[in-house]
Amino acid sequence: MINSDQLLTKIQSYNKFSNPEILTKAFNFALDAHKDQKRVSGAPYIVHPIAVADILTELKLDSATIITGLLHDTIEDTHATYDVVLKEFGKEVADLVDGVTKISALEEKAVQNSRAENFRKLILATSKDIRVLLVKIADRLHNMRTLNAIRSEEKKLRIAKETMEIYAPLADRMGMNSIRDELEDLSFSVLNPQARNLIIERLKFIKNNREDNFRDIAEELISLLKENGVKATFAGREKTAFSIWRKMQNKKISLEHLTDIIGFRVIVENISECYKTLGIFHSRYAAIPFRFKDYISTPKINKYQSIHTAIIGPKKQRIEVQIRTAQMHDFAERGIASHWKYKSSEKFSDLSWKEYDWLRDLVEIIETGNSPEHYYEFTKLQMFQENVFCFTPKGAVIKLPKNATPIDFAYAVHTSIGNTAIGCKVNGQEAALQSKLRNGDTVDIIISKNVSPSMHWISSAATGKARAAIRRYWQDKSEQTISKKEKQYTSTLVIDLPDQPGMLGEISTLIGLNGCNILNVELLKRVTSHLQFSFDIQINDLKNFTNLISQIKQKNLTFRIIRHKQKKNAFIQRFFKNFKRN
């Protein structure tokens, strides 16, 4: 455990605007508040807040954030109150501490209730700046480092899974790659210790056998760049056990076939030298196909920038190389924290904050759910790009796919809501049920008891649930009236079907599913692109026939309806019969 002087020295090494007196005061305040408390491991509790502050210092964060790290458990676990922290350290620190405290309290409540609580309103109120989340991630990182002190295996698994599926993706989305890697690897050691141990043993073997090779390769690459007038620094890049395991799973290959376990980061002075370095490497060595990615011209969604390539380098070794500037490297390691520049003050610029408005929406999603399953499901990394998350007027989160409509929203809330929907309001404004929803929209569905869902909605719905529910509604209606004696109708459908296998069977099935009987099928004509068929059908329920027509329209098929074909045929037959007689 570091002392206050060591912590101050680290802070002042990058932040000349820090106030040593207030930092020392916060250190001593935390020391006094936690003096009689112990961690589960038996260590003094003060070890934890100091470790959290140290992690925040490594990220080079501002004084208010580091003070929050020191005090983040005082309101929750000690005699200290919000008013006391406000009086001693000011409103900025008090609000940050209060925000972290409330998140921690709701996490405990979620565990006790065996479900994920809805955090949305809380986060909107307390996470108006990202530092609350930065402190929370640092808090989780230290808790993961000391997770083995917990005796309950069930609790350890729960915390590890939560970390893997919530905090690691969040750190990644904020560009904090080093913290993401550590959180993932610590979680992996709990969730799959056997796999991790096997990979670590194999890495040790590979490292011992190739260490000299890598040193020689690095020297040759540095010499090559010097010859071409490029000043660069090299850093080895050893992947974590979890990242290797994930690649093995994704590519379905063994550890022996992975060639990029250790690579190089090449750090140059500017962007033009990044591309110059790439050209030098590709001119001298053969590039491995499909391994080049330019994240400088097209940054990742989390603002990460670098050039990735793989080459057959010196000694015929496969080498993975990342080329970037020092600024890009700093962002890759610290993410959003790298925006604190400390040139004129230690305040974070408002322009930089605007780049991270998405975090407010993201945290709403992460900290919201009606069940543990949804809680974990909502936090998968892919959801940030492939899904939209909308809210009910009461604040519950509804997960929908991209391009979803209020129709999908209504059925996602409850089937009965969808079946009785007649309109909606999106963010307080009237909107069409077929309009597309965006992330963060609040949707209010207007219902009426005496209505039915329209079959035309199927073409607008983006979810299978909504489509299936609409079809099921009408099928159930049909079953309810099947026992009733109703007048039967006959009609003829003339449909142009694409000249493809299975199309005739598909339409025949569709007719049957809608409660109509096929009396006769006739091929009328054949052209290059399609076949024209005539279907004589018996209709037991006109609503079913309407549904059938709607579904045929959705398939974009050309068709026409002949209402009284049989009567016309009877008239023609009588005409010819009389003609022959005469």
Write the CA distances from 471 to 141, 315, 407, integer angstroms: 49, 64, 14
Distance of CA 64 to the CA centre of its chain: 30
Q: How far is C-alpha 249 from the chain's CA centre? A: 20
Q: Is residue 363 part of a domain?
A: no
- Name the 3-class secondary structure at 304: coil
Task: Give yes or no: residues 450 and 508 share one domain.
Answer: no
Same domain, 462 and 492: no
**Residue 188, in any domain of the structure:** no
Q: Are 447 and 524 members of one domain?
A: no
Q: Is residue 420 in a domain?
A: yes
Q: Is a pLDDT exceeding 80 seen at residue 184?
A: yes
Greater confidence, 385 or 27? 27
Residues 459 and 492 in one domain: no
* Low-confidence winner among 363-367, 521-525, 536-540, 570-574 (lowest mean pLDDT): 363-367
Query: Where does a domain end: 445, 478, 511?
Result: 478
Q: The domain that contains 493 carries what CATH number?
A: 3.30.70.260
Query: Do both 23 and 150 map to the same domain?
Result: yes
254 and 333, same domain (yes or no)? yes
- For residue 199, the domain's CATH number is 3.30.460.10
* Mean pLDDT for the stretch of residues 1-21: 84
199, pLDDT greater than 80: yes
Residue 488 has pLDDT above 80, yes or no: no
Domain span holding position 235 = 194-339
Query: How large a percentage of the chain has pLDDT more than 70?
Result: 78
Which of 32-41, 271-280, 540-549 shows the lowest mean pLDDT across its residues?
A: 540-549
Q: 240-260: string of b/e by CB count within 10 Å (b at 16+)?
A: bbbbbbeebeeeeeeeeebeb
pLDDT score recorded for residue 344: 52
* 397, 378 Cβ separation under 8 angstroms: yes
Neighbours of 331 (CB within 10 A): 24
Q: Tens of pLDDT along 511-538?
A: 888 888 888 888 888 887 888 888 888 8
φ, ψ of residue 429 to 5 degrees: the values are -110, 140
Measured in whole angstroms, the distance separating CA 292 from the mean position of its chain's CA atoms is 25
408: Cβ contacts below 8 Å, ≥ 6 apart = 400, 401, 437, 461, 462, 463, 465, 466
Tell whether 97 and 211 lie within a shared domain.
Answer: no
The answer to whether residue 181 sits within a structural domain is: no
For position 322, what pLDDT does the model report? 92
Of the two residues 299 and 144, the one the predictor is more confident about is: 144
Question: Residue 260 has what pLDDT?
Answer: 57
Q: Which of 4-18, 88-102, 253-267, 334-348 comes out lowest in average pLDDT?
A: 334-348
Dist. CA 73–CA 80, nearest whole Å: 9
Residue 182 within a domain: no
Same structural domain for residues 65 and 13?
Answer: yes
Most confident of 3-7, 343-347, 445-449: 445-449
When divided into structural domains, the chain yields a total of 4
Residue 351 has what pLDDT? 41
Catalytic residues: 76-77
Using CA atoms, how far apart are residues 435 and 420, in angstroms rounded to an integer?
18
Domain CATH code at residue 81: 1.10.3210.10
Q: DSSP for 120-148?
A: HHHHHHH-SSTHHHHHHHHHHHHHHHTGG
**Could you give the CA distance from residue 473 to residue 454 in angstroms, rounded to a whole number?**
10
DSSP 384-449: HHHEEEEE-TT--EEEEETT--HHHHHHHH-HHHHHTEEEEEETTEEE-TTSPP-TT-BEEEEE-T
Which H or E run includes 480? helix 464-481
pLDDT class of 383 with cuts at 50, 70, 90: very low
Residue 143 has pLDDT above 70, yes or no: yes
Sign of the Cα torsion 277, 279, 284, 288 reads: positive
Instruction: Note whether residue 403 is domain-resident.
Output: yes
- State which of 478, 501, 524 marks the end of a domain: 478
Chain centroid to CA 318: how far? 32
**Per-residue pLDDT at 451:** 87
Q: How many CB atoms lie within 10 A of CB 427?
A: 13
Select the highest-mean-pLDDT range: 208-212, 456-460, 539-543: 456-460
CATH code for the domain in which residue 407 is found: 3.10.20.30
What confidence score (pLDDT) does residue 50 get?
A: 93
- Examine residue 382 and state whether it is found in any structural domain, yes or no: no
Of the pLDDT bands very low, low, confident and very high (cuts 50, 70, 90), residue 183 is very high
CA-CA distances (angstroms) from residue 172 to 15, 128, 178? Answer: 25, 20, 9
Which of 531, 524, 515 lies closest to 562 in space, CA to CA? 524
Instruction: Please give the Cα distance from 106 to 121 (Å, whole number).
Output: 12
Looking at residue 384, what is its pLDDT?
A: 42
Q: Which of 281, 309, 339 lies at the terminal end of a domain, its last residue?
A: 339
Question: Residue 577, class by beta-carbon neighbours within 10 Å (0-12 exposed, 13-18 middle, 19+ buried)?
Answer: exposed
Lowest mean pLDDT among 8-12, 168-172, 354-358, 553-557: 354-358
Residue 368, pLDDT above cutoff 90: no
pLDDT at residue 481 above 80? no
Do 423 and 537 fall into the same domain?
no
pLDDT tens, residue by residue, 64-92: 999 999 998 888 777 888 899 999 999 98
pLDDT over 50 at 58, yes or no: yes
- Give yes or no: residues 495 and 468 share one domain: no
Whether residue 351 lies inside any domain: the answer is: no
In this structure, the answer to whether residues 528 and 567 fall within a common structural domain is yes
User: pLDDT tens, 385-395?
Assistant: 456 778 888 87
Instruction: Identify the residue with better confidence: 355 or 144.
Output: 144
Whether residues 51 and 81 share a domain: the answer is: yes
